[in-house]
Amino acid sequence: MQIIPMLINGKWVQGDGQAFIDVVNPSTGEVLAQLTNASKAQVNEAVQAARIAFESEEWRQVKAFERGQLLLELAQYIRMHAEEWSLLECRDVGKPLTQARADVEAAARYFEFYGGAADKLMGDTIPIEDGILNAVVLEPVGITVHIVPWNYPLQITARSVAAAIATGNAVIVKSAEDTPLTTHAMTQWFARKFPKGIFQHITGLGREVGPLLTRHPDINHITFTGSVATGIEVMKAAAQNIVPVTLELGGKSPNIVFADAPMEQALEGVVRAIIQNAGQTCSAGARLLIEEDAKALFIKRLVDRFQTLKIGPGEADVDMGPLLNERQYVKISSLLQQAKEDGYVITGGDTLTIKGYEKGYYIQPTILDGVDADAELAQEEIFGPVLTILTFSTVEEAITLANGTDYGLVAGVWSKDLDTAHYVASRVKAGQVFVNNYGAAGGIQMPFGGYKKSGIGREKGFVALRNYTQMKNIAIRYATPERT
């Protein structure tokens, strides 16, 4: 069985921590590889190596545009291996091959975007008085820790690592215990191209290995994507050492469909937004807010569409793959069981057994109607292909419902009326609002992050480079003819 090694201090090593953890293909139940838990000593070694590498003259001498060129080279390398990496991601996460291919393309785009940006992030000068040059300089923060979830391992690793390296930091990635494969592939490239200690990959159980990193007194920034509960733990750990965090903590994002919406696009948008990656997407459109007048017809068509969706193993490249693991499967199927008993399920609601793939974690795409807006099913992230319908009659009611959860990551607004669309977009408390689309253009360039409990800070786009820099103000007095 392949053991996924970690990269620590330029060496490929197994974890000294005890456990061997199976990496399972959710489509088949097959064990793809195993990983090991990093020990405390190994995490300390990684942080020490990162510190030495970051402070080294060698790294300091790499010019911003050269860092950028290296990242562009990685983008090219990813494209050259696109099919191989897509298959890895498809097997590791269980997502349909087409979606895995889109993830690989997005990863390449992140390295291109931030590679190109590496020498374009500029400071400022401030007019003070004659004889003083005042400069605002952006410096790397130092050691950046990246805790990556299992739903989009390659994309999410790429988006923050690319920005952190572009700005000159030393990076430590802790991949999710379920999905280390593409991070390992990326690590192999970094091991060949970068000074040791600038990019390191740590593996192991989040609750054991994660805190060893997040509580370490010598790290300088944490980027975390995951649940609110773990985000709170990460933030507490960071607080002990006054370390900044960038947190992306998911959502319960609404698609708000007005009666005057472009119906065909809205229908497809709503379906895609909840079945992509089997609903295991931070920005999943998990709530449909539908205007009363349009409800009957829209729901009928939605149900028809859900019932024609093809579910199967990632490699069969159908509409939707399995859930990630047994834990997700048990959690979501028991939630659906209860929802069925309560009479909310209008389509789906059951687990699925697929011939030849009996050990896969398949469930039906599901729609719930009649759920109270305050109920858990309408409030909490389910992280599966489960769409909860809520109904509204006025614009204000739609806005109240949209804002009626603790989250605020993304919202979709579907209306042909410009006034309605603009007004709702301005009132919705979400970090990203899509009008008459959901998830346009992949979003590499667009700042992404949450209002409320969906997180702190923004990833993606040029602005994310700021996460990995700190500001220094330098005031230089120089002699003027009057003063000398």
189: left (phi over 0), alpha (psi -120 to 50) or beta: alpha
Residue 383 interacting with ligand TXE (CB under 6 A): yes
Query: CB under 6 A: which stretch of 34-42, 221-229, 256-264, 430-438 binds ligand TXE?
Result: 221-229
Name the nearest CA neighbour of 318 among 249, 250, 269, 365: 365
Tokens 């149900």 sit on residue: 303
Is the Cβ–Cβ distance between 347 and 303 less than 8 Å?
yes
Residue 199 interacting with ligand TXE (CB under 6 A): no
- Number of residues that make up the chain: 484
Query: How many alpha carbons fall within 13 Å on the CB side of residue 49?
Result: 21
Subset of residues 266 to 285 that bind ligand TXE, contact rule: CB under 6 A: 282
Query: CB under 6 A: which stretch of 38-46, 60-68, 230-238, 333-341 binds ligand TXE?
Result: 230-238
Task: CB nearer to ligand TXE: give 369 or 381.
Answer: 381
Q: Tell me whether strands 410-414 and 432-435 are parallel, antiparallel or unpaired.
A: parallel
Residue 234 interacting with ligand TXE (CB under 6 A): yes
Paired tokens of 64: 């911003």
- To ligand TXE, the closest distance from the beta carbon of 45 in angstroms equals 18
How many angstroms separate the CA atoms of 281 and 297, rounded? 27
Measured in whole angstroms, the distance separating CA 347 from the mean position of its chain's CA atoms is 29
Residues taking part in catalysis: 248
Task: CB nearer to ligand TXE: give 153 or 348.
Answer: 153
Task: CB nearer to ligand TXE: give 59 or 152.
Answer: 152
Name the nearest CA neighbour of 155 among 205, 200, 207, 104: 104
Q: What is the DSSP string of 312-349?
A: --GGGT-SB---SSHHHHHHHHHHHHHHHHTT-EEE--
Paired tokens of 88: 């890895």
Task: CB nearer to ligand TXE: give 299 or 444.
Answer: 444
Residue 319 interacting with ligand TXE (CB under 6 A): no
Residue 227 interacting with ligand TXE (CB under 6 A): yes
Subset of residues 323 to 382 that bind ligand TXE, contact rule: CB under 6 A: 381
Query: CB under 6 A: which stretch of 9-17, 203-211, 252-260, 424-432 binds ligand TXE?
Result: 203-211
Residue 230 interacting with ligand TXE (CB under 6 A): yes
CA distances to 126, 332, 345, 356, 424 from 350, in Å: 63, 10, 10, 19, 35
- To ligand TXE, the closest distance from the beta carbon of 250 in angstroms equals 4
Tokens 């979400």 sit on residue: 430
x/- track of binding to ligand TXE for residues 121-150 (CB under 6 A): --------------------------xxxx
x/- track of binding to ligand TXE for residues 235-254 (CB under 6 A): -------------xxx----
Interacting residue ranges for ligand TXE, rule: CB under 6 A: 147-151, 176-177, 206-207, 210-211, 214, 225-227, 230, 233-234, 248-250, 282, 381, 383
